[in-house]
Structure 1
Amino acid sequence: MSGNTAPKDGTVAPPDGQVDRQLLRIAFILVLGTFMATLDATIVSVGIDSLSEEFDASVAGIQWVTTAYLLAVVAAVPASGWLADRFGGRRTWLAAVGVFLLGSVLCATAWSVTSLVVFRVIQGLGGGLLPATGQALLARVAGPTRTGRVISVVAVVPLLSPVFGPLVGGSILGVAPWPWLFLVNLPIGVVAALLARRHVPAVPPSTRRAAFDLRGALLLSPGLAVLVFGLTEVAHHRTVPAVIGVSAGLAMLAGFTVHGLRTRGTPLVDPRLFARPPFGAAAVALLVLGASVFGTTFLLPLYFQTGRGMPAWQAGLLLAPQGLGAAAGSVLVNRTIDKVAPRTLVVTGIVLILAGTVPFTQLGHGLPDAVIASALVVRGFGMAMVGAPVMNIVYSRIEPAQLPRASGALNLLNTVGGSVGTAALAVVLQNRLSARGPDISAAFGDTFWWVLAFCLVAAAGATRLPRTEARKP
């Protein structure tokens, strides 16, 4: 069957609020792209030592393989809304899959650290577009009455990918050479693209052909990338590039905010969105959730490997309970998201994350594996109760034509929260390791107090979310 058989109007029957098999199939196809992109953000982390040995590079130099991908993702996300408006959601999503797969193949053929870093940038540009474009397309197809339930299913994927990434990466390196860290994406991407051409509706481009916000793009994406770079340099104790990076990044972001408020055109990300309830409170919740999820995924594997001497695959395996908790939480959210006030779900989820994080502040006292696993289950359950309800709040309260830009803004916040939060926690950890000396476990425990602080900020933002169920048209 040809790719032209998919519906063309962007709608999927039935319109009665039921999530039918066709919509679930579309959700599964689109979530393959999100899974591929978010998994790749962490799957390479366990291969740093292998890549360092392969290219005879220092750890500081090879670390750019991870950093380059992250910076490319941060740079790509803001443009996702404009691209979907201009070219249509499905076409943009398919193009992003193509760019990501091209980058994956090039990474597998890299001959030096420099070439690998350049190819990771290409891969990251595609990977940055996939989650935002996929979510906006799915919300458009589902419609306001079904967005909550279907998003509760797919929103668990970004929570699972960072958990299973180190485990998958360690398993691949146990049986195959390093290029398969990137080639593993090919079958997933090809299948997703073929299925999308057949089953995903071709939502038409926006009738409002706004000009691309070039000035905003030159300020926002590079500003975020430079800020993340500066924070990374702080963790590496390189003072001059750290100060320059952080200062320049903040200045460019301030310039973008002023530009976004003054421009007569359509800004890449409208700063006024964050002043409109409930978008502002939702933004805080997702920003801090990203910092908590990715920060913990950064800290715990490092603790298991440096503090306990575990191999990479075993460290990844110990993170699996968080993924299991997230899966169980998504089932609960799917059944209650249209019946329970969004704020109740989000606040309950943050409380669970807080409860699951408290034990990690006591790592210096030698926590048993059973306590760590139980805490991760609780954290995972709580995280599933935050992401989907927050996205449902936003998606169900804006016009369909605005979905691509809103989705891009939300995914940008989650990505920035994860990258900036991880970089900040790396700085804290390095300081605590210096202060604690040989007591590595205590240094990690100290750092988790900052994760708790992130959660408290998220809780404060969540109290401003709507008390009532999302309005249905």
Structure 2
Amino acid sequence: MSEPPVRAEPAKAPPDRVDRALLRIAFILVLGTFMASLDATIVTVGIDTLTREFDASVGEIQWVSTAYLLAVVTAVPASGWLADRFGGRRVWLAAVGVFLIGSALCALAWSATSLIVFRVIQGLGGGVLPPTGQALLARVAGPTRTGKVISVVAVVPLLSPVLGPLAGGALLGVASWQWLFLVNLPIGAVAVLLARRYVPVVPPAAKGAAFDVRGALLLSPGLAVLVYGLTEVSEGRRLPGFLGVGAGLLMLAAFTVHGLRTRGTPLIDPRLFTRPPFGPAALALLVLGASVFGTAFLLPLYLQTGEGLSAWEAGLLLAPQGVGAAAGSVLVNRTINAVSPRALVVTGVGLVLAGTVPFTQLDGGLPDAVLVAALAVRGFGMAMIGAPLMNIVYTRIEPAHLPRASGALNLLNTVGGSLGTAALAVILQSRLDARQDVPAAFSDTFWWVVGLALLAAAGTTRLPRTPVDRSA
């Protein structure tokens, strides 16, 4: 029952031109990232529907989203070891299978509790898909083509906060809530069939490496507990929230000590973050995740609670950010090997800042035209950050280390998004309590998003000035 595998030869330097075969592989692998990133946001518009269907409280149903997010955070750190041990293609196919099983089970859920449990299964598969797919694509493409192909793939996570609410609203308008999950099945089936035929087998980098059990018991649960704590604080449950935050930080500190002292290969090596360009790139991706997903949380909430728009109307108003991201990815694809990566990233951060500042004036009555223009500018800027940062790391690291580096970068982006959203929810609630004015509270909170962008700008000052050497 095994098909003859297509063997890749990553050791040979491929031509600089991105040919049809590589684009086909990128398209196949991006289907997995598309499913995982879209599913993180598509369910948000169905919270009200699920609350009625399962006769549950909003707090209970909110765990449908939170459980998925926590499962993703738990799964990402192990993706590098899995790819090292079993091979990227095999792990990617298995992750798609787990994700599809979780999706089918979610559609069959009979209660809020069962749905939450099945979302965990879905998230475990979804968390492995983006880092494994990116590392596999970088191995197949080689250093001279990675930047161009990653610039296309990296736009997908930027589009999901925009497309998710639109897709969710459209599905609920014509079908039952089960289709929020069943929609993944045909996409995943096509991805599996195409991957088995066209995606090459890349030999595992470290087949004999031992799994870092102690690190896994500290890192993944620590991140999950930290996100859980911040979520509890944002919902007004202070005691369990502060206990969760404290316990999560202690576990992460213990993981750092373990990673520095272990003689084996840690799940994620803390020393990576002290080495340029990985350290600055990691910081920028962490803050980018917080900014992207934080805004994706704040702005639709404001449009629906402050302006009285429906989820569909709010999603349409957010669409220009996706248009800007697509346009930015085209520019990056054409310049990524010719322009200094730092120039691209710094320009991108500047555009994100320029596109965020108008949201600090919501209490003054922001015209729709300004909102649309700001979102388009933000989207364009975000596309200029993610792909160049990943290209910097992927083209300056040994092929054997790609799976773990990809896992670390995706983990930081995911953690940045989840922690940023949770932290901004806490800030928003405190401002709402203090000011009793919805637009003013949102304006105050967006100043924190501006601060995150400034922090990302500080991290970009240590990025390489020179473009990738094509002869490498």
Same topology, TM > 0.5: yes
Is there any run of 5+ residues in structure 1 with no aligned partner, and where?
none
Q: What does residue range 298-309 of structure 1 map to in structure 2 within 5 Å?
A: 298-309=297-308
Give the structure 2 partner of residue 131 of structure 1: 130
Superposed CA deviations along residues 316-349 of structure 1, whole A, max 9, x for unmatched, are: 1111100000000000000000010000000000
Residues in 1 aligned to 2:158 and 2:2: alpha-carbon distance in whole angstroms: 31
Report if aligned partners of 1:78, 1:268 keep a CA contact under 8 Å in 2. Answer: yes
Superposed CA deviations along residues 59-108 of structure 1, whole A, max 9, x for unmatched, are: 11110000000000000000000000111000000000000000000000
Superposed CA deviations along residues 21-48 of structure 1, whole A, max 9, x for unmatched, are: 0000000000000000000000000000
1:462 aligns with 2:440: no
DSSP 3-state at the match of 1:319: helix
- Cα distance change, pair 366–271 in 1 and its aligned pair in 2 (3 A): same
Whichever residue aligns with residue 464 of structure 1, its letter is R
Give the structure 2 partner of residue 221 of structure 1: 220
Report if aligned partners of 1:12, 1:141 keep a CA contact under 8 Å in 2. Answer: no
Give the structure 2 partner of residue 453 of structure 1: 451
Give how far 1:404 is off: 0.3
Whichever residue aligns with residue 216 of structure 2, its letter is A
Give the structure 2 partner of residue 22 of structure 1: 21
DSSP 3-state at the match of 2:100: helix
Give the structure 1 partner of residue 48 of structure 2: 49
Residues in 1 aligned to 2:294 and 2:389: alpha-carbon distance in whole angstroms: 20
Give how far 1:204 is off: 1.6
Give how far 1:392 is off: 0.3
Give the structure 1 partner of residue 66 of structure 2: 67
Give the structure 1 partner of residue 197 of structure 2: 198
- Cα distance change, pair 12–22 in 1 and its aligned pair in 2 (3 A): farther
2:469 is aligned, of 448, 468, 471, to 471
Report if aligned partners of 2:13, 2:142 keep a CA contact under 8 Å in 1. Answer: no
Q: What does residue range 200-349 of structure 1 map to in structure 2 within 5 Å?
A: 200-349=199-348
1:397 aligns with 2:396: yes
Give the structure 2 partner of residue 424 of structure 1: 423
Q: CA RMSD in A?
A: 1.2
Q: What does residue range 343-422 of structure 1 map to in structure 2 within 5 Å?
A: 343-422=342-421
Give the structure 1 partner of residue 441 of structure 2: 443
Residues in 2 aligned to 1:368 and 1:169: alpha-carbon distance in whole angstroms: 26
Report if aligned partners of 1:17, 1:146 keep a CA contact under 8 Å in 2. Answer: yes
Residues in 2 aligned to 1:185 and 1:294: alpha-carbon distance in whole angstroms: 22
Give the structure 1 partner of residue 85 of structure 2: 86
DSSP 3-state at the match of 1:237: coil
1:33 aligns with 2:32: yes
Give how far 1:12 is off: 10
Give how far 1:368 is off: 1.1
Give the structure 2 partner of residue 152 of structure 1: 151
Report if aligned partners of 2:72, 2:123 keep a CA contact under 8 Å in 1. Answer: yes
Residues in 1 aligned to 2:424 and 2:11: alpha-carbon distance in whole angstroms: 44
Whichever residue aligns with residue 398 of structure 1, its letter is I
Residues in 2 aligned to 1:115 and 1:4: alpha-carbon distance in whole angstroms: 36
Report if aligned partners of 1:6, 1:199 keep a CA contact under 8 Å in 2. Answer: no
Residues in 2 aligned to 1:314 and 1:209: alpha-carbon distance in whole angstroms: 53
Residues in 1 aligned to 2:326 and 2:384: alpha-carbon distance in whole angstroms: 10
DSSP 3-state at the match of 2:266: coil
Residues in 2 aligned to 1:424 and 1:16: alpha-carbon distance in whole angstroms: 45
Give how far 1:470 is off: 2.1
Residues in 2 aligned to 1:205 and 1:138: alpha-carbon distance in whole angstroms: 14
Superposed CA deviations along residues 335-382 of structure 1, whole A, max 9, x for unmatched, are: 000010000000000000000001000011111111100000000000
Give how far 1:7 is off: 2.2
Residues in 1 aligned to 2:9 and 2:325: alpha-carbon distance in whole angstroms: 30
Report if aligned partners of 1:10, 1:201 keep a CA contact under 8 Å in 2. Answer: no
Give how far 1:166 is off: 0.6
Give how far 1:4 is off: 3.3
Residues in 2 aligned to 1:451 and 1:339: alpha-carbon distance in whole angstroms: 31
Could you tell me the TM-score, scaled by structure 1's length?
0.98
Report if aligned partners of 1:5, 1:199 keep a CA contact under 8 Å in 2. Answer: no
Q: Percent identity at matched positions?
A: 77
Report if aligned partners of 1:84, 1:133 keep a CA contact under 8 Å in 2. Answer: yes
DSSP 3-state at the match of 1:4: coil
189-198 or 9-18, which deviates more: 9-18
Residues in 2 aligned to 1:463 and 1:11: alpha-carbon distance in whole angstroms: 32
Whichever residue aligns with residue 186 of structure 1, its letter is L
Is there any run of 5+ residues in structure 2 with no aligned partner, and where?
none
Report if aligned partners of 2:130, 2:410 keep a CA contact under 8 Å in 1. Answer: yes
Give the structure 2 partner of residue 116 of structure 1: 115
DSSP 3-state at the match of 1:103: helix
Report if aligned partners of 1:14, 1:20 keep a CA contact under 8 Å in 2. Answer: no
Residues in 1 aligned to 2:288 and 2:82: alpha-carbon distance in whole angstroms: 26
- Cα distance change, pair 460–207 in 1 and its aligned pair in 2 (3 A): closer
Whichever residue aligns with residue 462 of structure 2, its letter is R
Report if aligned partners of 1:279, 1:394 keep a CA contact under 8 Å in 2. Answer: yes
Residues in 2 aligned to 1:17 and 1:33: alpha-carbon distance in whole angstroms: 25
Report if aligned partners of 2:86, 2:207 keep a CA contact under 8 Å in 1. Answer: no
Could you tell me the TM-score, scaled by structure 2's length?
0.98
Give how far 1:13 is off: 8.7
Residues in 2 aligned to 1:330 and 1:424: alpha-carbon distance in whole angstroms: 29
Give the structure 2 partner of residue 141 of structure 1: 140
Whichever residue aligns with residue 364 of structure 1, its letter is D
Residues in 1 aligned to 2:206 and 2:97: alpha-carbon distance in whole angstroms: 26
Give how far 1:239 is off: 1.3
Superposed CA deviations along residues 5-29 of structure 1, whole A, max 9, x for unmatched, are: 5521354998221100000000000
Give how far 1:457 is off: 0.3
Residues in 2 aligned to 1:207 and 1:412: alpha-carbon distance in whole angstroms: 21
DSSP 3-state at the match of 1:463: helix
Residues in 1 aligned to 2:248 and 2:69: alpha-carbon distance in whole angstroms: 15
Residues in 2 aligned to 1:161 and 1:171: alpha-carbon distance in whole angstroms: 15
Residues in 2 aligned to 1:160 and 1:99: alpha-carbon distance in whole angstroms: 23
Give how far 1:207 is off: 4.3
Give how far 1:206 is off: 2.2
Q: Give aligned pairs, total.
A: 471
